């Protein structure tokens, strides 16, 4: 019983820290968007002044810079759920900062029973693990592939990332070079999947790691 209570307290603490980290990432993204909107009128005035002076080349350069700036703060992927979009795109931004190429296709089917918070726990943990594993590799070896969508009557999600040597496994848990907390993230994702009666699997091979899940959505969507 004592051990169970310790594990439960650890899970609660970990989840609280995880959700706080997600909130910080979402807030960072929204600050960038608010900053761009705040400057919107100044941009318009600058463009109008250049147009009035006939500086059309300068206007074109200014518009090109604005387009690049807006692209940097706009969401890249739209899954159909705003909170999930914020978390997912926040993780993609972190991957980009660490020079990790990401190939992602993500759409949450209508009728998927998983709550936004549980989806964020699942996606956040899997991508945190994928990013950390990539950071230990040479830049030219890094990659992450994400797929999220409908597979027959189920919601399907897979995350594949570059990795080093095949990871050892104890029972159903992988031992990570980062330590216990790294493997604990996979356990949190699996726990959230099992909450909905879903299937979760993780497979480690030399050079790659894949986690995937299936959760029933019936005939919806």
Q: How confident is the model over 191-215, as a mean pLDDT? A: 92
Say which residue, 56 or 215, is predicted with more confidence.
215
Say which residue, 168 or 149, is predicted with more confidence.
149
Asked if residue 120 lies in contact with residue 22, where contact means CB atoms within 8 angstroms, the answer is yes
How many domains are contained in the chain?
Answer: 1
140: containing domain: 76-216
Asked whether residue 207 is domain-assigned, the answer is: yes
Grade residue 154 by pLDDT with cuts at 50, 70 and 90: very high
Put the strands of the sheet holding 102-106 in their side by side order.
Answer: 102-106, 144-151, 154-162, 208-216, 199-205
Q: How confident is the model over 177-196, as a mean pLDDT? A: 75
Asked whether residue 101 is domain-assigned, the answer is: yes
Q: What is the pLDDT of residues 70-91, one digit of tens each?
A: 655 555 688 988 888 888 888 8
Asked whether residue 49 is domain-assigned, the answer is: no
- Average pLDDT taken over every residue of the chain: 80
Asked whether residue 3 is domain-assigned, the answer is: no
Asked whether residue 190 is domain-assigned, the answer is: yes
Asked whether residue 55 is domain-assigned, the answer is: no
Asked whether residue 44 is domain-assigned, the answer is: no
Asked whether residue 47 is domain-assigned, the answer is: no
CATH number at residue 161: 3.30.565.10
């Amino acid at each position: 019983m004592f051990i169970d209570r310790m594990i439960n307290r650890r899970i609660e603490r970990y989840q609280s820290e995880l959700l706080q980290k997600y909130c910080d990432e979402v807030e960072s993204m929204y600050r960038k968007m608010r900053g761009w909107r705040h400057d919107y009128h100044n941009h318009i005035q600058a463009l109008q002044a250049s147009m009035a002076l006939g500086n059309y080349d300068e206007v074109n350069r200014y518009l090109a810079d604005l387009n690049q700036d807006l692209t940097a703060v706009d969401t890249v992927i739209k899954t159909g759920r705003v909170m999930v979009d914020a978390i997912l795109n926040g993780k993609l931004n972190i991957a980009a900062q660490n020079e990790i190429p990401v190939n992602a296709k993500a759409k949450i089917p209508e009728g998927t029973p998983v709550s936004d918070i549980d989806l964020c726990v699942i996606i956040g943990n899997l991508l945190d693990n994928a990013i950390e594993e990539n950071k230990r590799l040479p830049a030219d070896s890094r990659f992450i592939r994400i797929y999220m969508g409908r597979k027959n009557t189920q919601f399907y999600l897979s995350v594949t990332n570059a990795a080093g040597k095949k990871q050892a496994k104890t029972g159903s848990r992988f031992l990570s070079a980062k330590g216990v907390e790294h493997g604990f993230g996979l356990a949190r994702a699996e726990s959230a999947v099992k909450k909905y009666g879903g299937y979760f699997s993780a497979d480690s091979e030399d050079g790659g790691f894949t986690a995937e899940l299936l959760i029933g959505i019936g005939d919806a969507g």
